[in-house]
Structure 1
Amino acid sequence: MARFRLEAGPTPLHHQVYLDLSSALDEGEWQPGDRLPPERELARRYGCSLIPVRRALDELAREGRLERTRGRGTFVLHPRLEVDLATSESFADLMHMHGMDPDTRLVDSSVEPAEDAVAAALALPPAAPIIYLERLRIADGNPLILEQVYLPGERFRGLLNHDLERNSLYNLLVEQFGARFVRAHETIEPILLRPHEARLLNNPPARLALLVEGTAFGPDGEPIEFTRSYIPGGRARLSFERKILRRQWSTGADGAGGDTHPPEGDT
């Protein structure tokens, strides 16, 4: 039996289905992780053919609310979080801003020899001792980000004696070890999750994710921290703001263009 009768008129049928499905998601009829009924069942629900249903589901998938996988079905995704890469807010503060309950689970902590890429990022000799921390950042009980942190072992000797789940790592580094962070360089690239990261993030292996690699520097340019953060596709949307520096042009009395202002940041 149809949930309600679709009406012929100026509003296309697929958009009517889209609006009702969107409302059902907002009302919690299906929760994140739930699989929606098959397309044919939804078509019976709305008393229409498969075409409006498919178009409505495709639109919700483009919005990041659903994931459609051939052979598995259509699943409800967790709401995407807006993560501003330029902000200095902590993970807990960001989650509170989104009305979510943050938590951190320490997966691993150890002192180990630095692999080549980590040693290079921290300007350390090959195989120098580093402190490795693997932490799962959780929002409302759901894994959101897997964070792998690498720190110079000699500089932060004794860090593992602190509570790294209930204390802010940033505050510990600043208040207990005198670290000063003045800038960070970050890169973002799409990857496929390996089994280890996929398991911790409750995702299937080879799922598309974003890898954010970042190095934080102190006031004299020395690298202090290197991190790898794994964010599964559909969980968050990354944003940043950049300043656009351009020449200011004005027209002189003779009508010719003249560069009357010195170019900002242009050498």
Structure 2
Amino acid sequence: MVFDKNCVTPLYVQLKAELMNRINNGILKSGEQLPPELEMAENFSVSVVTVRSAVNELVKEGLIEKKRGKGTFVSNTKYKRDYTKIQSFSDSCRAMGSVAGSRVLEMKLEKADSSLAQKLGVNSGDRVLYISRLRTVNGEPMVIEKNYFPERFADLLNEDLEKNSLFLILQEKYGVTVTKSSKEVEIARTTSEEGKLLNLSKNYPILLVKSVAYDQFDTPVYVGSQAINGERFTLKI
């Protein structure tokens, strides 16, 4: 491609626009390495300085990242989760045009300690249902969910939560609709187990979202946490 050197728009801006267009249209794919600056300069018939200026602008905007000793790469796709809306993980992925997946890690009944019992509105020592799932986006592991439900939802043990929406089961089987939730977001670091599940190293920074969800009658439905790969997710709160 040859740019118009007589145009009032600087060459680096023209090149930046071309690279951005290729990224947005999937010609340059997420995680793909860009050619060296000299090669790009030759391909686009511009100077190395022009290439460097265009690339630096895209780095500032987060579309491209430089990895020391490795080169320049198209940044990994950032997925968005809108916490101002009450929606399931599956619905949020669908809104992004992505495919949600789920793998059940653990499902069991256990006794609630005093802190959990207070949040769930049950008595300390009462049985509660614990469900842990690994959530994926387009096949990539992104979130580890850990949720505690009152014992009245114990029949969820018999449901296929890898293929079916938990929110939909709550609506259809229990007549329960999650209408609001309180959330706290903090920075945490992965344990060895979390790192393996999310394909991250141990002690890697992640987003930890703690929540209590309520139904249409303001009754607690579940108390949960989500360990999220913050590099790949943007949260709207």
TM-score normalised by the chain length of structure 1: 0.70
Q: Any residues of structure 2 matched to 1:173-184 within 5 Å, and which?
A: 173-179=170-176, 181-184=178-181
Equivalenced residues, count: 236
Kept after mapping to 1: 8 A contact 2:178/2:216: yes
**Seq. identity, %:** 32
Show CA shifts across 1:74-128 (max 9, x none). 3333433342212233333333333333332223323345577645543556675
How far apart, in 2, do the equivalents of 1:139 and 1:187 lie?
A: 23
RMSD: 3.3
- AA paired with 2:85? T
The separation in 1 between residues aligned to 2:56 and 2:12, in whole angstroms, is: 10
Identify the residue that residue 230 of structure 1 maps to in structure 2. Answer: 227
For 1:185, which of 182, 185, 191 is the aligned residue?
182
Query: What are the within-5 Å matches in structure 2 for residues 248-267 of structure 1?
Result: none
Match of 1:87 in 2: 85
The one-character-per-residue Cα deviations of 1:30-81 (angstroms, maximum 9, x if unpaired) are: 32232333445444544422x5444433433343333333344433334333
The range that moved more, 32-41 or 18-27, is: 32-41
Maintained 8 Å contact 1:130/1:151: yes
Given that 1:207 and 1:232 are in contact with CA atoms closer than 8 Å, whether structure 2 keeps it comes out as no
Report which structure shows greater RCO (CA 8 Å, sep ≥6).
2
1:61 and 2:59 aligned: yes
Match of 1:130, SS? strand
Deviation at 1:164, TM superposition (A): 1.0
Q: Is the 8 Å Cα contact of residues 190 and 204 (structure 2) preserved in structure 1?
A: yes
**Correspondence for 1:142 among 129, 140, 143:** 140
Distance between the aligned counterparts of 1:162 and 1:125, measured in 2?
26
| Alpha-carbon distance in structure 2 between the residues aligned to 1:150 and 1:31 | 39
- Correspondence for 1:97: 95
SS class of match (2:161): coil
3-state secondary structure, aligned to 2:152: coil
Q: Is the CA contact (8 Å cut-off) linking 2:86 and 2:179 kept in structure 1? A: no
Which residue pairs with 1:48 in the alignment?
Answer: 47
Q: Which residue of 2 aligns with 1:107?
A: 105
Q: Distance in 2 between matches of 1:97 and 1:219?
A: 23
Shift of residue 163 of structure 1? 0.9
Q: How does 1:31-46 map to 2 (within 5 A)?
A: 31-46=29-44
Larger Rg: 1
1:158 is paired with a residue whose SS is helix
Aligned partner of 1:165 in structure 2 is 162
Q: Distance in 2 between matches of 1:194 and 1:8?
A: 56
2:130 aligned to which of 132, 150, 164: 132
Residue pair 2:80, 2:234 contacting (<8 A) in 1 also = yes
Q: Distance in 2 between matches of 1:14 and 1:56?
A: 5
Q: Comparing both structures, which one devotes a greater share of its residues to helix?
A: 2
Distance of 1:122 and 1:230 partners within structure 2? 20
The aligned amino acid for 1:89 is Q
| Aligned residues of 1:64 and 1:80 also touching (Cα < 8 A) | no
**CA 1:130–1:44 in structure 2 vs 1: closer, same or farther (change >3 Å)?**
farther
Q: Secondary structure at the residue paired with 1:188?
A: strand
The two structures have a TM-score, normalised by structure 2, of 0.77
CA distance in 1, matches of 2:133, 2:154: 19
Partner amino acid for 2:170? L
